[in-house]
Amino acid sequence: MKLICSKTTLLNGVQIVSKAVPSKTTMSILECILIDARRSEITLIANDMELGIETRIDGTVEEKGMIALDAKIFLEIVRKLPENDITIETDSSLKTTITCEKAKFNIIGKSGEDFSFLPVIEKEDCVMLSQFTLREAIRQTIFSIADNDNNKLMTGELFEIKEDNLKVVSLDGHRISIRNIKLKNFYQDKKAVIPGKTLSEIAKILSGDVDKDVSVYFTDKHVVFEFDHTTVVSRLIEGEYFRIDQMLSSDYETKIKINKKEFLSCIDRATLLVKEGDKKPIIITITDGSMELKINSTVGSMNEEIDINKSGKDIMIGFNPKFLIDALKVIDDEEIYVYMVNPKAPCFIRDSGENYIYLILPVNFTNVS
């Protein structure tokens, strides 16, 4: 095999597929990136058996063939080569020579025949949305998936399509994030739980361009994303997702309207006094026209007042400040509405059209002075 392509093109392709290379595996072939140049185009592939990424890059194929190269070494070599054309050449003994200007590397590859190619998925009923919309939906929900495997379903996000609406849901037992997105077309009902790892990696690859679309295909066990010259195939998480509708009450005793930036900045300041790992709640006291935020820690204390519009009862309620910050950071509205029932019931941040809903459980603060 012999091929030539620019460093920029090759590096971009290698970085894209590297996201599907496992950090730990007993199968050494999975630690490789496959360069497939058996046709007149160059395809790079990585696959950890849960997530697979394939991308086509521009270049010249002078001799057809394929080779699997150690992903970590290959990426570092390409990254550190000069900004010029790179030639990759292999011989029958799998020795691979990578040349750029006066730099020349020789590494031993593995046979492409041993590589685990992406599964062939039957693509039916394509769901289309813009790269911007998908990236935003992930950004605005991914922070509230669980980061451990105690409940596998909590490590993924529910993608539910009904007619022309896509609902994206994540939860970790302390909070729920929901985004409702209007699609351009109507589709058959679909429901799938996509691993958080897959969505995080896709969000990094997407250009975020409003004018560029992503094609999404669902099967019983897989989801496929196609955009630009890249295909991402991921296994779905099996099982029935949580019934969240019964948790989403529209009842409230207290409703406030508040400037989002002021609220976020205030909580951000308060967390300066909280050491990493400390579970110190922020205590919020709401009275007519005013919200007082207070935090006490071993470092010191802080309190601040913010003007609000309130309807309903006065309330004192405690929260994990991180959970409030995570939700507020991804809301674009200047003014937000917060709904509360009592100090032990979930609080809701949502807009009138329910384009977003963030549910956050309060924390007990009986022992906080």
HEC secondary structure over 289-348: CEEEEEEECCCCEEEEEEECEEEECCEEEEECHHHHHHHHHCCCCCEEEEEECCCCCCEE
Give mean pLDDT, residues 192-198.
97
Name all domains of the chain by residue range, CATH numbers in brackets.
2-114 (3.10.150.10), 127-245 (3.10.150.10), 248-360 (3.10.150.10)
Least confident range from 40-49, 173-182, 216-225, 242-251: namely: 242-251
Distance CA 156, CA 111 (A): 34
The pLDDT tens digits of the residues spanning 1-21 come to 999 999 999 999 999 999 999
Measured distance CA(84)–CA(1) in Å, rounded: 20
Residue 250: per-residue pLDDT: 87
* pLDDT recorded at residue 368: 45
Write down the pLDDT at residue 369: 43
319-336 pLDDT, tens digit per residue, is: 999 999 999 999 999 999
pLDDT in tens, 69-126: 999 999 999 999 999 999 999 999 999 999 999 999 999 999 999 999 999 998 888 9
Label residue 208 by pLDDT band (50, 70, 90). Answer: confident
Q: Where does the chain have alpha helices with state H?
A: 7-18, 71-80, 131-139, 196-205, 260-270, 321-329
Length of the chain: 369
pTM for the whole structure: 0.94
Question: Could you say which DSSP state residue 71 is in?
Answer: H
Measured distance CA(59)–CA(212) in Å, rounded: 23
DSSP assignment string, 126-139: -EEEEHHHHHHHHH
d(CA 206, CA 13): 13
Q: Which residues contact 282 (CB under 8 A, 6 or more apart)?
A: 267, 270, 271, 293, 294, 295, 318, 319, 320, 321, 324
CA dist., res. 115 & res. 289, Å (int):
64
Output the six-digit token pair for 308: 């609000």
